[in-house]
Amino acid sequence: MENNIHILLVDCPDEKGLVYKVTDTIFRNQLNILKNDEFVEQEKKHFYMRTEFSGDFEEAQLIYDLRNILPSPANLKLSTNQRKDIVILATKEHHCLGDLLLRHHFGELNANIKAVISNYDSLQNFTEKFEIPFHTVSHEGKTREEHEVEILKLIGTYNPAYLVLAKYMRILNQGFVAHFPHRIVNIHHSFLPAFIGANPYKKAYERGVKIIGATAHFVNENLDEGPIIEQNVIRVDHSQNAKDMAKAGREVERNVLARSLQLVFQDKVFVNGNKTVILE
Amino acid sequence: MENNIHILLVDCPDEKGLVYKVTDTIFRNQLNILKNDEFVEQEKKHFYMRTEFSGDFEEAQLIYDLRNILPSPANLKLSTNQRKDIVILATKEHHCLGDLLLRHHFGELNANIKAVISNYDSLQNFTEKFEIPFHTVSHEGKTREEHEVEILKLIGTYNPAYLVLAKYMRILNQGFVAHFPHRIVNIHHSFLPAFIGANPYKKAYERGVKIIGATAHFVNENLDEGPIIEQNVIRVDHSQNAKDMAKAGREVERNVLARSLQLVFQDKVFVNGNKTVILE
Amino acid sequence: MENNIHILLVDCPDEKGLVYKVTDTIFRNQLNILKNDEFVEQEKKHFYMRTEFSGDFEEAQLIYDLRNILPSPANLKLSTNQRKDIVILATKEHHCLGDLLLRHHFGELNANIKAVISNYDSLQNFTEKFEIPFHTVSHEGKTREEHEVEILKLIGTYNPAYLVLAKYMRILNQGFVAHFPHRIVNIHHSFLPAFIGANPYKKAYERGVKIIGATAHFVNENLDEGPIIEQNVIRVDHSQNAKDMAKAGREVERNVLARSLQLVFQDKVFVNGNKTVILE
Amino acid sequence: MENNIHILLVDCPDEKGLVYKVTDTIFRNQLNILKNDEFVEQEKKHFYMRTEFSGDFEEAQLIYDLRNILPSPANLKLSTNQRKDIVILATKEHHCLGDLLLRHHFGELNANIKAVISNYDSLQNFTEKFEIPFHTVSHEGKTREEHEVEILKLIGTYNPAYLVLAKYMRILNQGFVAHFPHRIVNIHHSFLPAFIGANPYKKAYERGVKIIGATAHFVNENLDEGPIIEQNVIRVDHSQNAKDMAKAGREVERNVLARSLQLVFQDKVFVNGNKTVILE
């Protein structure tokens, strides 16, 4: 996307003529539609629309005009193709973090990594090679709540649009998650809903599956059950043990996480209850 | 798609407000848009739009209204979700033909197979199991022109919307092809543009590739160079000789042909010069 | 594989020199090894070996010689590249059955379909087009046991090497399964272990997954938990409802089932507890 | 692979009993076979065998014993699972180099990167973050021969087992290539043999393909025609222009290059004329 592109996300109950009404409103505001995608979810009769447009406008006026023609309740979000501020949480594994730092370093992430936070310091030297602040917030000797509050305070100083869990191996309490509704992206090391919870590669090995995978999803209050953004898989066979599968799986994990962030940071992902609608 | 769904395909030079203008026109004709997809090809600044709608309307009026608001030259096509009439051309290989006859038999092809024509009779008994007329038009002792004219006359009696070349192993003259512009779908047994022409699996084996594929495309006057509709691939390795690759490739061929016909028969494929635009 | 190729499957506790000892024994019997694959499962230190060879030999002598050099307990199986006799069980869905009948008709299944048995008669006319006996064994008004005994008797008249469940939608009791240890191949319409049990596509739709799949496995006493032979997947998105996913999934189901049978009927699949070892 | 594993690669004309003879020889040298794979290329009747074994032995004795039982001419190579020394050549693109530096940094490449050489200095700072020597050898004002001789001298100081062309965008003369027979791995940004030469993504875009790919191959005297080690692909569509395809393709390039190096550095790749035989 070029500079100065605006992105409008609309979702509301469906009714006749919505595409016409929204494009008409944009047209009357003297704006130029560059790309338009919409989708009607038939089960709930819900309308989703993503529009890229260019031109000068007053945000309050456009929102006002749109509210006037949209059925209630309507969700409206105006964004741009500017980079989002993010904070990454990691534990000890480097493959997802390394991939994101590399993409960021070369300007390919569509995000500004403001900081990396981990409960261990093992990735500190590596992270700092890329001139990104690294904070170790150990969980030792703290309750989960104490630990999360400490991290929350730290995150607060960076005011990120999104949190990315790049193999952050601790479960987050509902109290933490509630601060960032649909704003935490996690990479889970299995093809959900197969192998929910810990040690998915060991479970995959023991079950003798022929394909393993990874899942990027928004985090909600239920572990491994948030809206799925992206999944992918890789073939395995009997010659691979759990450790080999974990190694092969890491390639998928980093690719799936990067792909999901590309979608999220370009405002292409709507949340529909426990699912996503992706308009590219 | 349910019954009585209408499909409008529009393509024309791009200009500001086209989505608005088209949806406005449909709206003013009291029609209900069910699904709308559009795409602007930036290089040529060309606009493509596919709209599914329901409701009663007079075709001439709608076309007239649309012509009034669209820039020239505009291509307009009105279709429905009814089955297309097709004729299949084959030679001796059964895998694509068999797959299509099976899908047709169980009502899954979105097409009526009016007849199968081959230059050999080896697939006749098989085809007739499915109560489909089979015509052998041998090429022996005939010039290419004589043979094609004979086939053309036969096809003419069925008046098909599309011809499907299900492993028809003869090259078609430009004179034949010109009768069916963008209405002949061929399955080529390689991942085009690799291995154009005859014996692609032998060439793939000799080159030592690790992946082989198949390509479904519209036929134009240049062999294997028409607009590509769909491609897919399968992994191979050193243990497979040319015959093994051909066998593995046949699985891809039949799946790619079926997938491409699903797109074509649902009016989801635009031709853009030597390429396709697919709006699903 | 050409005619008159013999296949030896050996599995036993691993020890030093087994490849040497087995190939030495084959060599001393004046036989010619065409292909040899072996695998040592490190966790249980178990040895698997599959050897294709040609030449004339006395079976009792070769087995005797092998038993003399192999550690106990050793499983030995001698087979050939001749077609296996099979019986197919189906219910109402045609896509897997149709695919198998087509491959069989054109000599590509490496099996003789002796009969098709269903609890409904809806696929009878179709099956009989291919000159395959079709038996309807209704389950209505019978206990599960009565129904299964009736089917068992019928199967007994065909003495098949394998049973293929081509979308047979009834659960089989342990008493039935025990008649055919590692000789029943089932196609399950999900990417196991995700979505065990009924209605997997509905569950996949409700979970909002981005990839669906199918699993071919040997049937054992635990539903959907037998050794997995083959799996594959296909991408889906938010625009597909449960019915659309089921339709897309059927393409995967038939391809996965066909692929798994290709492996089984060429004696390439060992069972290792709840897993498979596949030596190609 | 654990420490102290030895790898024997044998290829020679096929004859009866070779697996037996080689394993017998290893056995008589008191060595323990851990893994054994072999393949007979039927067209040329050529035998390939890769054996992993452990134990103490005298190399000259083992080679002598093997030569005694193998038909001539036989290629024999003894290696270990120790890391190979490599030198990377790059130009300006970072994605493949970055990926390799990351894997190397975390000990996952099975190689020691001794140095990175480029004809530009743009990747110097980045490379040096990882404490790897970086040499700029500009081609400006030099003939191709002068430039290559300068690079050759520099490479000579590192005595690498392999050269890796990580998007090195200059054609290498036969004189350069001849120094490293089957020891230069290149990543080509297309699915060879489609789009040989420059600007493959532009060509792919203009041809309207639906899948693009990348190819890792050994470099020989003919541009883009050396033995293929690994290939992979990614789907594209009409909405992607040449630049978008190049971006998507970079993901495939880095994954294919990494995968090919994993195979090469574990001595799993034989060269068979213009093809590879890969025994994993």
CA distances from D109 to A184, C143, D63, D251 (A): 32, 61, 29, 18
HSE (CB half, 13 Å, CA atoms) of B243? 3
Catalytic residue among D11, D99, D224, D267: D224
Reported as a single tens digit per residue, the pLDDT across B53-88 is 999 999 999 999 999 999 999 999 999 989 999 999
Of B6, B63, B15, B9, nearest to B272 (Cα)? B9
Q: Is B222 on the interface with D (CB under 8 A)?
A: no
- Considering just the CA atoms, what is the radius of gyration of chain A in Å? 20
CA dist A231 and A252 (Å) reads 9
pLDDT at B197: 82
- D231 touches B: beta carbon within 8 Å: yes
pLDDT band at A273 (very low <50, low <70, confident <90, very high): very high
Q: What pairs with residue B212 in β-bridges?
A: B234
Structural tokens at position A30: 């003297």
CB-closest option in D26, D36, D40 to C38: D36
- Comparing C197 with D52, the larger pLDDT belongs to D52
Q: Which of C41, C43, C228 sits opposite A209 (nearest CB)?
A: C228
Q: Give A255's contacts in chain D (Cβ within 8 Å).
A: 251, 255
Question: Chain D contacts of C32, Cβ < 8 Å?
Answer: 16
Q: Measured between alpha carbons, how far is C107 from B231 in angstroms, rounded to an integer? A: 27
Contacts of C103 by beta carbon, 8 Å cutoff, 6+ apart: C109, C258
Confidence at residue B195, expressed as pLDDT on a 0 to 100 scale? 87
Helix, strand, or coil (residue D26): helix
- Could you tell me which of C63, C56, C20 has the C-alpha nearest to residue C38? C20
Residues forming beta bridges with residue A235, ordered by sequence position: A211
Instruction: Choose the mutation target among A10, A19, A31, A52 for the interface with B, i.e. most B CBs under 10 Å.
Output: A19
Q: H or E element: which one contains B175?
A: helix B174-177
Place of tokens 């093994």: B244
Task: Give the relative orientation of helices B18-28 and B59-69 as an angle to the nearest 10 degrees.
Answer: 150
Task: Categorize the per-residue pLDDT at B196 as very low, low, confident or very high, splitting at 50, 70 and 90.
Answer: confident
Two structure tokens written together for B8: 């409008």
Residue pair A158/A112 in contact by the 8 Å Cβ criterion: no
Q: Which of residues 20-79 of A touch B (CB under 8 A)?
A: 20, 23-24, 26-27, 32-38, 40
Give the distance from residue D280's alpha carbon to the nearest chain A alpha carbon, in angstroms. Answer: 10
Helix/strand/coil for C214: strand
C18-28 helix and D18-28 helix, angle to the nearest 10 degrees: 130
Mean pLDDT calculated for residue range D181-199: 91
Are C53 and C10 spatial neighbours (Cβ–Cβ below 8 Å)? Answer: no
- Cα B4 to Cα B77, B82, B279, C34: the distances in Å are 16, 8, 20, 61
Tell me which long-range contacts D27-30 makes (C-beta under 8 A, separation of at least 24): D27/C16, D27/C17, D27/C20, D28/D65, D29/D55, D29/D57, D29/D61, D29/D62, D29/D65, D30/D55, D30/D57
Average pLDDT rounded to a whole number, residues C228-240:
96
Q: And the tokens for D41?
A: 């290329």
Measure B50 CA to nearest chain D CA, in Å: 15
pLDDT, average across residues A217-230: 91
Of B116, B225, B210, nearest to B163 by C-alpha is B116
Contact at CB, A106 and D94, closer than 8 angstroms: yes
C222 touches chain A (CB under 8 A): no
Percent of chain C with pLDDT over 70: 99
Beta-carbon contacts of residue C183 (< 8 Å; ≥ 6 apart): C161, C162, C163, C218
- The pLDDT, as a whole number, for residue C27 is 86
Residue of A nearest to D247 (CA): A108
Give the count of beta carbons closer than 10 Å to the beta carbon of residue D279.
20
Contact D165, D87 (CB under 8 A): no
| Cβ contact A40–B37 (<8 Å) | no
CB A269 within 8 A of CB A263: yes
- How close A25 comes to chain B (CA, Å)? 9
How do residues B10-46 score in pLDDT, each as one tens digit? Answer: 999 998 889 889 988 998 999 988 888 889 998 899 9
When pLDDT is averaged across residues D179-184 and rounded to a whole number, the result is: 96
Q: Which of A120, A76, A103 is nearest to A262 (CA)?
A: A103
Q: What is the distance between the terminal CA atoms of chain C, rounded to a whole angstrom?
A: 12
What pLDDT sits at residue A3?
Answer: 56
Mean pLDDT of A86-91: 98
Cα nearest neighbour of C25 on chain D: D20
Positive or negative torsion for Cα D139, D144, D148, D149 = negative
Contact B20 A27 (CB under 8 A): yes
The set of long-range contacts for A171-178, using a CB threshold of 8 Å and a minimum separation of 24, is: A171/A144, A171/A223, A172/A148, A172/A219, A173/A144, A173/A145, A173/A148, A174/A221, A175/A145, A175/A148, A176/A148, A176/A151, A176/A152, A177/A219, A177/A220, A177/A221, A178/A221
* Catalytic residue chosen out of the listed positions B224, B237, B244, B267: B224
C248 burial via Cβ count (<10 Å: 0-12, 13-18, 19+): middle
Q: How many CA atoms lie within 13 A of B10 on its CB side?
A: 30
Which residues in A lie closer than 8 A to residue C237 (C-beta atoms)? Answer: 278
Q: Environment class of residue D251 by beta-carbon count within 10 Å: exposed (0-12), middle (13-18) or buried (19+)? A: middle
pLDDT tier, D1 (very low <50, low <70, confident <90, very high otherwise): very low
Report whether pLDDT(A236) > 80: yes
User: Across chain D, what does the average pLDDT equal?
Assistant: 94
Q: Is the pTM of this model over 0.90?
A: yes
pLDDT at B234 over 60: yes
From residue D27, alpha-carbon distances to D67, D79, D280 in Å are 15, 18, 21
For residue A2, pLDDT beyond 60: no
D65 an active-site residue?
A: no
H helices of chain A, where?
A: 18-28, 59-69, 95-105, 124-129, 144-156, 174-177, 200-207, 242-265
Query: Can the peptide bond before residue B13 be classed as cis, meaning omega within 30 degrees of 0?
Result: no
- Specify the pairing of strand A32-41 against strand A46-54: antiparallel
pLDDT at residue D3, as a whole number: 56
Going by C-alpha positions, the residue among D241, D249, D243, D237 that lies closest to residue D194 is D249
**Mean of the pLDDT values across residues B194-221?**
93
Identify which of A123, A116, A151 has the alpha carbon closest to the alpha carbon of residue A137.
A151
Residue D217 φ/ψ, nearest 5 degrees: -150, 155
CB-CB contact of B116 with B135 (8 Å) = yes
Which of helix, strand or coil describes residue D203? helix
Name the phi and psi angles at B51, rounded to 5: -130, 130
Using a CB–CB cutoff of 8 Å, tell me whether C206 touches chain D: no
Per the rule left: phi > 0, alpha: psi between -120 and 50, beta: everything else, A63 is alpha
Q: What are phi and psi of D243, to 5 degrees?
A: -70, -40
Residue D165's pLDDT band (cuts 50, 70, 90): very high
B244 CB within 8 Å of a chain A CB:
no
Q: What distance in Å separates the CA atoms of residue C268 and residue A216, rounded to the nearest whole number?
A: 36
Is the pLDDT confidence value at C131 over 70?
yes
Q: Can you name the residues that pair with C9 across neighbouring β-strands?
A: C50, C77
Look at B32 and A16 and tell me if their CB atoms are within 8 Å: yes
Q: What is the pLDDT of residues D54-85, one digit of tens each?
A: 999 999 999 999 999 999 999 999 999 899 99
The distance from CA C196 to its chain's CA centroid, rounded to whole angstroms, is 19
Rg (CA), chain C: 20
> What are the structural domains of chain B?
5-80 (3.30.70.260), 83-180 (3.40.50.170), 186-245+270-280 (3.40.50.170)
The C-alpha atoms of residue C271 and residue C86 are separated, in whole angstroms, by: 19
Nearest-Cα distance to chain B for C116, in Å, is 18
d(CA B246, CA B167): 13
Q: Per-residue confidence at C2, pLDDT binned at 50, 70, 90?
A: very low
Give the pLDDT band of residue B4 (cuts 50, 70, 90): confident
What does the block give as tokens for A64? 């006002």
Q: What are phi and psi of A160, to 5 degrees?
A: -80, 150
DSSP A215-279: EEEE--SSTT-SPEEEEEEEE--TT--HHHHHHHHHHHHHHHHHHHHHHHHTT-EEEETTEEEE-
pLDDT of A176 above 70: yes
Whether D92 has its CB under 8 Å from any CB of chain A: the answer is no
Q: Which residues of B touch D190 (CB under 8 A)?
A: none
User: What type of residue is C269?
Assistant: V
**Which range is least confidently modeled, B34-38, B169-173, C175-179?**
B34-38
Q: Mind listing the pLDDT tens digit for each residue in A15-47?
A: 888 988 998 899 899 998 888 888 999 889 999
How many Cβ atoms sit within 10 Å of the Cβ of residue A65?
17
